C-alpha cells in the first residue's frame, strides 16, 4: 500500500519509480504549504528565537488553518532530515490521521497536532517509502550505487537508505539472482 502510494504520486507527477521526489514538490502537488518559523505571521522576535535557537530538537508539525494544511518545518536541520520530516507530515495527511491531541511547541503561538503511536509508525513507514520507493532502491542497487550515492540521489540520509534496505529485503532479493543476470 505505502509502496504503491509512492509510485502513484510519482506517476501523477510524471516521474518514474526511480526518480527522486522532493518533499516540497509533493507538498505543492497536494496543496500543502510548507512554512519555516520565519514565515509564521505575527511571531514575536522572542518566540522566533525560541523556535529557531533555544529549542532545536523539533522537526515539523502539521496544522490546519483557514488557508488549508500547513507544515511548519524546522529549516535549521540538514536537507536530508528536512526531506524526511516533510514526507512524514505528508504521510500523516495522506493517511487521513486524526490528531489525538495537540501539543504546544515552545515559541510556537499555535498548537501542533499530535498523533497516536500506531499512526506515528504508519507515517514513518509511508514517509520513507515516499522518499525511496522499493523499485527505485532496487534500480539503484542494480546500478551498483553505494548507500551514500543512493542517499545523495534521493535527497535522503544514509540512515534512511539503510532503513529502506533493511525493511524492503532488496539485498536478499539481489543476492538470489542468478550470476548470469548479475553480470548482465
Ligand atoms: Zn508524526
What residue spans of the chain are helical by DSSP H?
Answer: 2-12, 23-29, 45-49, 79-94, 117-131, 134-142, 147-154, 158-168, 170-175, 179-183
User: CATH topology for 2-131?
Assistant: Arc Repressor Mutant, subunit A (1.10.10)
Q: pTM, whole model, 2 decimals?
A: 0.90
**Gap from CA of 118 to ligand 1 centroid (Å):** 10
CA distance 182 to 37: 49
Q: What is the grid cell recorded at 178?
A: 542468478
Instruction: Provide the mean pLDDT of the chain.
Output: 91
Domain ranges of the chain: 2-131
How far does the centroid of ligand 1 lie from the alpha carbon of residue 148, in Å? 26
pLDDT at 102 over 50: yes
CA–CA separation, 4 and 2 (whole Å): 5
Query: What spacing in Å lies between the alpha carbon of 150 and ligand 1's midpoint?
Result: 25
Residue 41 phi, psi dihedral angles, 5° rounding: -65, 140
Q: For residue 137, what is its C-alpha cell?
A: 532502491
Q: DSSP state, 111?
A: P
68 bridge partner residues: 65
The yes-or-no verdict on residue 55 having pLDDT over 80 is no
Q: What are phi and psi of 127, to 5 degrees?
A: -60, -40
Question: Ligand 1: distance of its center to the CA of 14 in Å?
Answer: 28
Lowest mean pLDDT among 8-12, 103-107, 123-127: 103-107
Amino acid at each position: 500500500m505505502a509502496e504503491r502510494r509512492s509510485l502513484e504520486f510519482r506517476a501523477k507527477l510524471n516521474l518514474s519509480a526511480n526518480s527522486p521526489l522532493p518533499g516540497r514538490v509533493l507538498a505543492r502537488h497536494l496543496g500543502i504549504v510548507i512554512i519555516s518559523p520565519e514565515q509564521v505571521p505575527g511571531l514575536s522576535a522572542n518566540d522566533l528565537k525560541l523556535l529557531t535557537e533555544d529549542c532545536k530538537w523539533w522537526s515539523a508539525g502539521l496544522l490546519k488553518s483557514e488557508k488549508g494544511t500547513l507544515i511548519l518545518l524546522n529549516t535549521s536541520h540538514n536537507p536530508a532530515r528536512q526531506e524526511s520530516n516533510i514526507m512524514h507530515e505528508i504521510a500523516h495527511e495522506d493517511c487521513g490521521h486524526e490528531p489525538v491531541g495537540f501539543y504546544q511547541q515552545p515559541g510556537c503561538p499555535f498548537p501542533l497536532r499530535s498523533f497516536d503511536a500506531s499512526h506515528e509508525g504508519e507515517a514513518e513507514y509511508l514517509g520513507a517509502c515516499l522518499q525511496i520507493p522499493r523499485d527505485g532502491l532496487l534500480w539503484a542497487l542494480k546500478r551498483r550505487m553505494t548507500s551514500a550515492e543512493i542517499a545523495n540521489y534521493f535527497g535522503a540520509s544514509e540512515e534512511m537508505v539503510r532503513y529502506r534496505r533493511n525493511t524492503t529485503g532488496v539485498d536478499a532479493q539481489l543476492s538470489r539472482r542468478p550470476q548470469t543476470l548479475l553480470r548482465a
